[in-house]
Structure 1
């Protein structure tokens, strides 16, 4: 079953399992082709400091780079940044850094900035950024250690050391924002664009 009406499959420029799951669950015919870019280098060279602007830049670059090698195909790029006040977070390098991130986020509200872009043959056709407000529970160190024990290596695969669709749900007190933004691929604005291009049957 697919609602995709493009002559060629959609390309997702990401190796993220959650992003791939979102498209698959929405019955979109797609191929995953991860973008080979140095995200931190692109960010530093841009001089951007706004979390939303950084996420948008990286989403555009991922889509653009992959689309150059996929003539005629629509390519979706996505990126997500986490900010706590003026501080930006990256994926933790290991357990120690994951514990540090969780300690910093505990009892406070942070923002997830999720960007999506669509490119074709090197040209950006569409982009959007959505923001979710995430309030983490107060956590004592022993709770953080239990979480890290149970979550294992997955804590290094997501900024903030959590995956809300898995064990990370236990860390939160309140969430304001749509499900797709939190998982790193704002589907609603993306699908609105794809429908405008007559690429979806629904």
Structure 2
């Protein structure tokens, strides 16, 4: 039987996705300074896919060192719009500016997953999904932010697909779970094939 999976993440949406599948897991905060590591990686590459892949690896490996007999899952999400990497906002004012920038545009979400066992990487996957944001005027954005409140600050794109996010979407191309923060279908295929 598969030992408890360790999700190297404190993300509320990732934990919800894992719980919804009935996976036997616990979550642990990765033993890395994510912002410092991201800065180091960005000095070497501006490729969002590679940045998310490297961060997912670092997160998984940081926990795998202490839990060598458990499958450890690290994940990271990056968003790119008009060739610009989008970072998390710190406050509602920044969220308003971010939504103004994303309005009427499409952007790409890259989520990388890295699975480790006994400090070795045994599986990796990066999923790309394109999200189209409808044209939003100032009132649309203000109303949306009032409804979402500070929960919006937890999400890189200033939306939560499982919450109020669909109100500002015009189209999604690809994996909806990826928009939520974790491409669970690909991960479950791996678990069924390789672990059991």
Please identify, of 43-52 and 124-133, the stretch whose mean Cα deviation from structure 2 is larger.
43-52
1:159-170 alignment, distance < 5 Å: 159-170=156-167
> Could you tell me how far 1:43 is from its partner in structure 2?
2.1
Structure 1: unaligned runs, 5 residues or longer: none
- How far apart in 2 are the matches of 1:22 and 1:135? 22
Structure 2: unaligned runs, 5 residues or longer: none
1:2-32 Cα offsets, whole Å, 9 max, x none, are xxx31x2010011112111111111110011
Secondary structure of the corresponding residue to residue 110 of structure 1: strand
Secondary structure of the corresponding residue to residue 131 of structure 2: strand
1:59-98 alignment, distance < 5 Å: 59-98=56-95
> Could you tell me how far 1:148 is from its partner in structure 2?
0.8
Provide the residue aligned with 2:99 in structure 1.
Answer: 102
Within the candidate set 26, 30, 33, 1:38 is matched to 33
Contact 1:115 1:129 in 2 (8 A): yes
> Could you tell me how far 1:169 is from its partner in structure 2?
1.1
Within the candidate set 166, 185, 189, 1:188 is matched to 185
Within the candidate set 137, 143, 146, 1:149 is matched to 146
1:116-141 Cα offsets, whole Å, 9 max, x none, are 11012221111100011100010011
Q: CA RMSD in A?
A: 1.1
Q: TM-score, normalised by structure 2?
A: 0.95
1:25-64 Cα offsets, whole Å, 9 max, x none, are 1111001111132222212222221111111111111111
Q: TM-score, normalised by structure 1?
A: 0.92
Provide the residue aligned with 2:20 in structure 1.
Answer: 25
Secondary structure of the corresponding residue to residue 172 of structure 2: strand
